[in-house]
Structure 1
Amino acid sequence: MVDNVGGSSSCNGGENREQERLLPIANVGRIMKQILPGNAKISKESKETMQECVSEFISFVTSEASEKCRKERRKTVNGDDICWALGSLGFDDYADPLRRFLHRYRELEVDRSTNHPEDSP
């Protein structure tokens, strides 16, 4: 293995890859503020910690869903796969509401495409 001695590009490249893996911190902060009282302050460290946690959780669930798809020789992970993965990993408290949301979302998409066919792709 050869290190990139003298070049700082490997550090920046690694940092960029790390940032690509994480949810945008502004979005994480916005979601955190929604649950807190209006006068609450959130430290940068708290936002960064939550950013890492939620990004890892999403990666964990997506990996499980992706593995299911791989075993079924499919290339596309869909919402049902994510719901299955949540249940499979023991997150039933999240899986059931997400299934209901996904079902409702799909109903609304059908209604939208039926009522406004010009808006559909």
Structure 2
Amino acid sequence: MAENSCAGGSNDEGGSRAEQDQQLLLPIANVGRIMKQRLPHNAKISKEAKETMQECASEFIGFVTGEASDKCRRERRKTVNGDDICWALGTLGFDDYVGPLKRYLHIFREQEGDQRSVLNNNNNEDSVMEEDHLHAPLHSPSSSPGQPSTNPVARGEAPPPFPAPPHFFNSTS
């Protein structure tokens, strides 16, 4: 009975059930953009197809995250990490995705570590800095201070988007 009172209209929190459900979904523009990347440039995607994929992808994320969260709860941890997601994918039968995701996670962690070491080195070299130097762009040790870095992490860029290039999925490891 309580479910029916919420489903039809506004609830005490100020939004309808449909609005709350919509907030749990991935943004449809992002879903459409990802779908379009795999299609010829002149292909079109119907609104129904985008909405279907939006619901499926959002449900999948919740499904995998729930399994990883259960593992963390059993281990009395509060933070779900990338390794927990990989474990959950394997446990749920998505073994084909575990290897590529672990490789991506390894690259992400390497780049994150590189960025931390660059930041730590910069902080340790000059403990007293003028204010205008605090916001100067980072440079890698291999580049001259006046030249931009060749390291994408030092430039503040994110690691490559997942899914990564096809060689990630064709690896025999």
**TM-score, normalised relative to structure 1:** 0.88
Q: Which of these residues, 18, 22, 39, is aligned with residue 21 of structure 2?
A: 18
Q: Which of these residues, 75, 94, 99, is aligned with residue 102 of structure 2?
A: 99
Counterpart residue identity of residue 8, structure 1: G
Q: How does 1:1-121 map to 2 (within 5 A)?
A: 1=1, 4=5, 8-10=9-11, 12-117=15-120
Deviation by residue 1:21-47 (Cα, 9 ceiling, x = unmatched): 110000000000000000001000000
Deviation by residue 1:37-88 (Cα, 9 ceiling, x = unmatched): 0000100000000001111111110010001011111111111100000011
**CA RMSD, Structure 1 to Structure 2 (Å):** 2.2
Deviation by residue 1:66-119 (Cα, 9 ceiling, x = unmatched): 010111111111111000000111111111111111111111111111112358
Aligned-partner Cα distance in 2 for 1:4–1:78 = 37
Aligned-partner Cα distance in 1 for 2:67–2:119 = 36
Counterpart residue identity of residue 80, structure 2: V
Give the greater-gyration-radius structure (CA): 2
Aligned identity (percent) is 66
How many pairs are equivalent?
118
**TM-score, normalised relative to structure 2:** 0.63
Aligned-partner Cα distance in 1 for 2:40–2:25 = 26
Which runs of 5 or more structure 2 residues have no equivalent in the other structure? 124-137, 139-173
Counterpart residue identity of residue 81, structure 2: N
3-state secondary structure, aligned to 1:41: coil
Aligned-partner Cα distance in 1 for 2:113–2:28 = 33
